[in-house]
């Protein structure tokens, strides 16, 4: 798994800093699996985080402190994640006899393969297995711009938190999926985290991320379409999008605007799948799992299922997590579950093998 530290550590809070809200998950390991210790969510005003970049660190650090205070979270060590343009994930093939040799060769290889200067990025890698060519190893190279990682760790330290792990949204999503669904090997799954401004796509098989891509489209686009099309404020458009009533609008008036954005999203997903089939694997995608708040947009699940002809399901990251009803309102947990997938995957980093 990708991250700054890999040692076993106790109690990390998974903290997902998104453009519409910050999400926190803390877990405990039990004999039967996991138990939810804490669940927090706090909204951010628009322009605080823009497409994965923290623009207003003070607002973010106050929101983090608020989540920790409101939910009485005691742990100060966090696992967080980055995504978007400043993260590059690339599969490469290398020849290396030992782990040490591999580690030594990575920066050189990264310099050759990435357009970025290696001194400007935080590098990490994971060996995927033997390559198709003799003596080679397939390696997943992950580079995050150093300034992006600092952008996150500084906001966290302003909030008095210590960043123990910096992961990538798409991989955290995969960790949450695997813990919740124990997917059978040799089946291909597409995981989509459709947030407010970014959609993370990760196509996985047998625990390996075969293909990842971040697309700049999400719930904000739907809200903007309603704002423009129906002449509404941001707040009214959000409310309408989530199934609420707005005085001047008949409910059926919104569908055409939502559908127009869903069509754009569908096209991006279709393009990604086509590219995956052309470059990586001809194997069909067996099922799509949708996470993120925008997974719940009216009609989206059906549209994807009908147009792509692949079964689509909303991802429940708490499927195998014990949630005490005295502590957490089950209806609320169920409502926010798809938005918690990345935070859940990050919280799982507490239990990394040493
Ligand atoms: N029930 C719902 N129906 C439609 N959209 C919803 C619903 N609930 C939340 N959303 C939308 O989901 C988005 C928030 O989802 P999420 O928390 O996954 O995004 P984020 O992590 O803040 O954003 P990003 O990862 O793109 O930076 C918002 O655009 C919000 O309007
Ligand atoms: Mg998000």
pLDDT higher than 70, residue 176: yes
pLDDT for the residue 354: 54
Is the CB of residue 272 below 6 angstroms from any atom belonging to ligand 1? no
The pLDDT of residue 1: 45
**43, 49, 50, 54: CA torsion to nearest 10:** -170
Q: Let me know: does 21 contact 42? Beta carbons within 8 Å.
A: yes
pLDDT exceeds cutoff 80 at 3? no
Cβ(297) – ligand 1 distance below 6 Å? yes
With a 6 A CB cut-off, is 294 part of the ligand 1 pocket? yes
pTM: 0.95
Predicted local distance difference test score (pLDDT) of residue 317:
98
Q: How far apart are CA 99 and CA 101, in angstroms?
A: 5
* pLDDT mean over 50-77: 96
Q: Label the pairing between strands 21-30 and 13-17.
A: antiparallel
> Is the distance from the beta carbon of residue 218 to the nearest atom of ligand 1 less than 6 Å?
yes
Where does the pLDDT of residue 253 fall: very low under 50, low under 70, confident under 90, or very high at 90 and above? very high
Residue 24 near residue 14, CB atoms below 8 Å: yes
- Which ligand ends up closest to the CA of 219? 1
pLDDT band at 310 (very low <50, low <70, confident <90, very high): very high
> Of 3.30.1490.300, 3.10.129.10, 3.40.640.10, 1.10.8.60, which CATH number belongs to 87-143?
3.30.1490.300
pLDDT > 90? residue 304: yes
Q: Are 81 and 153 contacting, i.e. CB atoms less than 8 angstroms apart?
A: no
Residues lining ligand 2 (ion), CB within 5 A? Answer: 18, 195
Gap from CA of 81 to ligand 2 centroid (Å): 10
Q: Determine the Cα–Cα distance for residues 60 and 256; give it in Å rounded to an integer.
A: 35
Number of Cβ atoms within 10 Å of the Cβ of 206: 12
Task: Give the pLDDT mean for 327-332.
Answer: 97
pLDDT score, position 4: 46
Q: What is the mean pLDDT of the chain?
A: 93
pLDDT at 269: 98
What is the 17 CA–ligand 2 centroid distance (Å)? Answer: 7
pLDDT for 95 equals 87
130-169 per-position pLDDT tens digit: 888 888 899 999 999 999 999 999 999 999 999 999 999 9
Return the pLDDT at 142.
Answer: 92
Residue 19 in contact with ligand 1 by CB distance below 6 A = yes
> Which is the closest atom of ligand 1 to the Cα of 197?
26
8 band by pLDDT with thresholds 50, 70 and 90: very low
20 lines ligand 1 (CB under 6 A): yes
In this predicted structure, the answer to whether residue 10 has a pLDDT above a threshold of 70 is no
Q: Where are the domains of the chain?
A: 87-143
């Amino acid at each position: 798994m990708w991250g700054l530290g890999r040692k076993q550590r106790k109690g990390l809070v998974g903290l997902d800093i998104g453009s519409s809200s910050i999400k926190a998950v803390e877990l405990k390991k039990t004999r039967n699996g996991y138990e939810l210790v804490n669940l927090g969510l706090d909204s951010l005003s628009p322009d605080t985080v823009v497409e994965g970049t923290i623009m207003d660190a003070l607002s973010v650090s106050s929101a983090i402190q608020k989540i920790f205070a409101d939910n009485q979270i005691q742990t100060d060590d966090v696992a967080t994640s980055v995504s978007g343009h400043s993260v590059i994930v690339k599969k490469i093939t290398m020849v290396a006899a030992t782990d040490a040799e591999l580690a030594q060769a990575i920066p050189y290889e990264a310099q050759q393969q990435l357009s970025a200067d290696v001194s400007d990025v935080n590098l990490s890698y994971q060996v995927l297995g033997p390559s198709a060519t003799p003596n080679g190893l397939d390696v997943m190279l992950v580079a995050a711009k150093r300034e992006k990682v600092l952008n996150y760790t500084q906001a966290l330290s302003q909030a008095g938190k210590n960043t123990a792990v910096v992961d990538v949204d798409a991989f955290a999503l995969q960790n949450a999926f695997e813990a919740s669904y124990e997917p059978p090997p040799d089946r291909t799954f597409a995981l989509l985290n459709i947030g407010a401004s970014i959609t993370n796509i990760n196509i996985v098989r047998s625990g390996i991320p075969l293909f990842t891509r971040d697309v700049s489209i999400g719930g904000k686009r739907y809200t903007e379409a309603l704002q423009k099309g129906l002449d509404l404020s941001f707040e009214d458009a959000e409310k309408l999008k989530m199934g609420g009533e707005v005085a001047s609008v008949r409910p059926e008036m919104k569908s055409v605007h939502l559908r127009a954005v869903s069509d754009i999203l569908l096209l991006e997903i279709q393009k990604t799948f086509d590219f995956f089939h052309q470059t990586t694997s001809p194997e069909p995608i067996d099922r799509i799992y949708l996470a993120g708040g925008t997974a719940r947009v009216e009609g989206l699940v059906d549209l994807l299922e009908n147009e792509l002809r692949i079964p689509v399901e909303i991802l429940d990251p708490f499927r195998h997590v014990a949630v005490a009803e005295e502590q957490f309102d089950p209806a609320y947990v169920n409502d926010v579950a798809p938005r918690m997938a990345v935070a859940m995957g990050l919280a799982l980093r507490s239990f990394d093998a040493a």
